[in-house]
Chain A
Amino acid sequence: MILPTGLFEWSLLIAILSVSVSQVMAMVRLVIGPGNGDRILALDTMVINAIGLIVLLGIAQGSEVYFEAALIFAMLGFVSTVAYARFILRGDIIE
């Protein structure tokens, strides 16, 4: 593993590290629960962290092609959270 040299690389590394760690921690919360509400919130957090990861990946590779993936994640990711929430509240998600 090559150590970064400039400030930009350092900050990028730290950002990736933190997002990854928070992603793992969100997953731990998802697995241990204890309630389904906690799990759904954890999954939502994971989606947000995933957006972060994709954006950071784009920055690291200097590429713009990942932007749309992050955009769609941001735009549609909440729909599954809402669906889970409706399921717990009402059972039927389209009524």
Chain B
Amino acid sequence: MSLFVIVALPFLGALLPGLMYGAGRKACAGVTLAVTLTALVGLLSRLPEMWRGETLYARVEWLPALGLNVELWLDPLGFFFALLILGIGALIIMYGRHYLSRDDHMGEFFTYLLLFQGAMVGIVLSDNILLLLIFWELTSLSSFLLIGYWKHLPEGRQGARMALTVTGMGGLAMIGGALILGDIAGSYRISDILQAREAIQASPLYTPALILILLGCFTKSAQFPFHFWLPHAMAAPTPVSAYLHSATMVKAGIFLMARLWPALSGTPEWFYLVTGAGLITMVLGAVIALFKHDLKALLAFSTVSHLGLITMLLGTGTAFGVLTAVFHILNHATFKAALFMSAGIVDHEAHTRDIRRLGGLRHLMPVTATIAIIAALSMAGIPLMNGFISKEMMLKEALSTELYGPYWLVPALATFGALFSAAYSFRFIGHTFLGPKRDDYPAHPHDPNPGMWLPPAFLAALVIGIGILPFAVEPFVKFVTGAVLGNVAEVPTYHLAIWHGVNVPLMMSAVAVVGGLILLALHRPFQAGWDAAPRPEAKTIFEAVIAGALSLARVLTGAFHDGAFTRYAAILALTIVAAAGHAWMTGQTAQPMAMGEWPGFAPSAGWVMLVAAAGALVMFHHNRLIALILMGIVGTMVSVGFAFFSAPDLAMTQISVEVVTIILMLLALNFLPDFTPKESTAMQRVFDGGVAVLGGLGAGLLAYHLLTGSAIAPPISGYHLENSYLGGGGTNVVNVILVDFRGFDTFGEIIVLGIAALVIYALTETLLFGPVRARLLNRTPDKPLSGDRHPLMMVVMTRVIMPLALMVGIYIFLRGHNEPGGGFIAGLVVAVAVVMQYMASGFAWASARQRYPYHGIIGSGVLVAGLTGIGAWFTGTEFLTSSFGYVKLPGLEAFEVASALFFDVGVFLAVVGAVMLSLESFSRLARRADMPDSEYPMDIDPSRDTRTEGGA
């Protein structure tokens, strides 16, 4: 099976549980299992090739310019982890099907699980470090969904959030590390990075890269000081804990350390950081685990401890350490998954996980007890179990490791950790399953159906199988070890065996087991001492840090973004003035071409009027209607000004936008008081005035400078003028820029315009169906109203204007490519022509005659524009490249047809739809209860009266 298929299967399969949910829980779990098993079989089908020593590659270019390609490879390390992920995944699915109660949505659960599985398989098979990062983040996200699966539990939500925050932050750091590594190696392919060991370790950026990568690994694998999220993630359903926290997600950090081992390991930095963190985590986790009463919390801290053990082994940088690490990854996955599942069974049957309320369960659930005891003995490191062999090897490796001083420090700490490890394993067995039967369990515990105990039983069989016959897995473990070591070191010749004679590690192991038993016997006083001792609570610290960051963000945001428009405008104006002032002071300026001269009488009059209107606006702005009328002067004079500066396109746009704006403002003014109250203090007004003067002066000076100065660099307009007809097939440069040169911008803009209109629609809809509705409906006008709602004269006139306006719109649209005009202006003209009908004949009458919804018009506009752009692909060119030609129809002169014309149709439709949708939405607010909608265009219509009389 192709590697692409193996990675893609869980993602594609994630659609199935949701679809099959309706077919029942059995079908839902069955289809999920089928997906996982298919991927597993596909993976195994590649084993023979790999066993021959081939490394399989599969690659497709994605974003080659960034070095981000879909590059997968299958080497023994990736195979090993993929096997764990898919194999244990299959067991978890079987287990989960029986574990989830009828209240839990199984389709949702298995969808998340498959998404997570796909992300994990993606991580271990990626040959591109950027692709690996993507999958890495996907595991963080999907594990967030899984941990928080029980959304009704606050612990679940908090634990999920904490896990996401910690692992997400680590992932962020890792992005930096991965980019540095790829930069040093000159390639983002992992197989290339692994070859660049010397270059990477010699680089001055090695240490930062290492720290960043390790941050990612340590957060993911719950290493000290980031270990605190893992126990809180135990709020998840047990199948999730068994899957994520025994075999997969927390092993992702370990995997990455193993993956990059050839490139990063062997330096003092690596040794101190990785071994140090691993050792601390191992001891700390083991000690805390002993004092936890929740079965899952105990297992969580034991996982933390074992992850620390593996990390420590990888940190030593020796081949033997790697061999031990690989072997222990395998062993830990088997016994820990079995233990989590057993704990889940106990919880499921006894309805409690509190170890103080349990005991004597071996009488009630013998099967579960057997499985759990086997797995726990392996965790304790008892001979004939697989955990014993890897623990012996760990102690042997610890003996030859020296860290920070005396030679006995590491071995002593390792023994200490192993001792506590044995103690909590014994406590797990003793306090849950051994002892006398109790009669105060919250429920009546009994063995579950086989569907629930078979998966852990299978793992327990593996635990014993590997423990008794370690040589059976030896070739495979060495095979994987060889892949981790790369060509840096040789695979050690050490044999995996139960008995290596009486040696120091065996004695250390014996000390640990005996010590563990003693510790368990003395558990009660130790527990009391532990409970009395003050300890920092990680959750409190974490929440305090988060709260601190949040309040800092609030303070910063609140200072700039306080909801007052004047504040934003002041910040914006001052920033722009400061930036422009800086540019003026430090930048290069050209000599002015011409000093200002007397522009003539009419332009001077226009200038005087703009100034006077602005001044009057300052005086009268508290009266909203007068302010709006005064703005009309500005709009009119600016339109004339555009014409004066030879920009007819702009003049036309400004005129039509002006009309639409006034209609929109008047619709809004209807709901506002006539006068704006004075709200600001005198100081505030002086400050605002200063900002306004500064902004105005700045804008004025800039305009003056641009109008009188010569350009520093040759302006781009020359290029546009030259290529407008050659490239775009139009002689109206403005329109060619809009639909061709900057067509992509225009495409984005019409989408934004459409979205804005839809948002207006959505907001008014919400208002109309909310509590405001009653107030709007019962609103009484505050001024006397004239009686004629739809005056005859206006109705007749707008009817006459309508075809004229439409014709002008079409004319302006069609000539747009070569003469002033185009889709945008035409759209505004047509929209105003339609709005006139609404104003004259009323909302009900007009919208009853509107056949197509305005949303659809916006959508079709965007679609037409997008399809035109895509059409360019068929001619082998880039998106939105325009092409044009001449068409001769009989009876007509040859005329030009450009693909840009169709794009302009899209712009036209989007503008019409957006303008109409926003105006229509606003006017819907004004529907009043006491005003029945009229079905006639005019209120007073003599012909209708005579008809009614004649009929009567």
Contacts and interface: CB of A to CB of B under 8 A. Distances in A.
User: Is B truly associated with A?
Assistant: yes
Interface of A: 1, 16-17, 19-21, 23-24, 27, 30-31, 33, 36, 39-40, 43, 46-47, 50, 53-54, 56-57, 65-66, 68-69, 71-73, 75-77, 79-80, 82-84, 86-87, 89-95
B666 A93 contact: yes
23 contacts: A1-B598, A1-B600, A21-B605, A23-B605, A43-B636, A46-B632, A50-B636, A50-B637, A54-B651, A65-B646, A65-B648, A68-B819, A69-B820, A71-B808, A72-B808, A73-B655, A75-B829, A79-B663, A83-B666, A83-B839, A94-B919, A95-B843, A95-B931
Interface string B892-925: 0000000000000000000000000001000100
A16 B640 CA distance: 13
Nearest to B837: A94
B629 A40 contact: yes
Interface string B658-688: 1100110011011000000000000000000
B843 A94 contact: yes
B656 A72 contact: yes
Contacts of B666: 83-84, 86-87, 93
A17 B629 contact: no
Nearest to A55: B643
Nearest to A42: B629
A72 B653 CA distance: 9
Contacts of B786: 89-90
A57 B616 CA distance: 27
A83 B646 CA distance: 30
Contact of B820 (A47, A65, A93): A65
A12 B820 CA distance: 25
Given A95-B789, A95-B931, A53 B633 contact: no
Interface in B608-648: 608-609, 612-613, 616, 625-626, 629-630, 632-633, 636-637, 639-640, 643-644, 646, 648
Contacts of B609: 23-24, 27
A69 B652 contact: yes
- Among A17, A30, A50, A94, the most chain B Cβ lie within 10 Å of the Cβ of A94
Contacts of A94: 667, 835, 838-839, 842-843, 919, 923, 926
Contacts of B662: 80, 83-84
Nearest to A88: B625
A31 B626 CA distance: 9
Interface of B: 598, 600-602, 605-606, 608-609, 612-613, 616, 625-626, 629-630, 632-633, 636-637, 639-640, 643-644, 646, 648, 651-652, 655-656, 658-659, 662-663, 666-667, 669-670, 781, 783, 785-786, 789, 794, 801, 804-805, 808, 812, 819-821, 825, 829, 832, 835-836, 838-839, 842-843, 919, 923, 926-927, 931
Contact of A46 (B636, B820, B829, B839): B636
Contacts of B598: 1
Contacts of A56: 602
The 6 closest A-B pairs by CB, nearest first: A94-B923, A89-B786, A20-B605, A69-B651, A92-B926, A80-B662
Contacts of A69: 639, 643, 648, 651-652, 655, 820
Contacts of B600: 1
Nearest to A86: B839
Contacts of B794: 82
Contacts of A68: 648, 652, 812, 819-821
Contacts of B919: 94
Contact of B805 (A24, A46, A75, A87): A75
A23 B804 CA distance: 28
Contact of A39 (B601, B629, B639, B783): B629
**Chain B at the A interface: SS class:** helix
Contacts of A16: 601-602
Contacts of A75: 801, 804-805, 808, 829
B652 to A, nearest CB: 5
A2 B200 CA distance: 77
A89 to B, nearest CB: 4
A73 B812 CA distance: 14
A43 B801 contact: no
Contacts of A87: 625, 666, 669-670
Contacts of A33: 626
A77 B821 CA distance: 18
A73 B781 CA distance: 33
A71 B812 CA distance: 11
A33 B625 CA distance: 12
Contact of B839 (A19, A20, A31, A93): A93
A54 B640 CA distance: 6
A17 B601 CA distance: 7
A87 to B, nearest CB: 5
B919 to A, nearest CB: 7
A40 to B, nearest CB: 7
B655 A72 contact: yes
A24 B479 CA distance: 93
A77 B600 CA distance: 26
B608 A76 contact: no
A27 B613 contact: yes
A53 B602 contact: yes
B626 A20 contact: no
Nearest to B609: A27
Nearest to A13: B601
B625 A80 contact: no
Given A43-B632, A69-B652, 4 more contacts: A75-B805, A76-B656, A80-B663, A95-B931
Nearest to B920: A94
A89 B786 CA distance: 5
A72 B832 CA distance: 11
A50 B629 contact: no
B648 A46 contact: no
Nearest to A56: B602
A39 B640 contact: no
A66 B926 contact: no
A46 to B, nearest CB: 6
Contacts of B843: 94-95
A46 B652 contact: no
Contacts of B821: 68
Contacts of B644: 57
Nearest to A40: B629
A65 B655 contact: no
A16 B599 CA distance: 14
A91 B671 CA distance: 9
Nearest to B604: A20
A90 B842 CA distance: 12
A50 B632 CA distance: 12
Nearest to A20: B605
A68 B600 CA distance: 24
A29 to B, nearest CB: 11
Given A72-B656, A80-B662, A83-B666, A36 B832 contact: no
A80 B670 contact: no
- Among A16, A76, A82, the most chain B Cβ lie within 10 Å of the Cβ of A76
B461 to A, nearest CB: 78
Nearest to B620: A31
B652 A79 contact: no
B821 to A, nearest CB: 7
Contacts of A30: 629-630, 633
A66 B633 contact: no
A31 to B, nearest CB: 5
Given A69-B643, A94-B838, A27 B633 contact: yes
B659 A80 contact: yes
B842 A79 contact: no
Contacts of A50: 636-637, 639-640
A17 B602 CA distance: 7
B781 A91 contact: yes
B626 A24 contact: no
B659 A92 contact: no
B639 to A, nearest CB: 7
A84 B670 contact: no
A95 B842 contact: yes
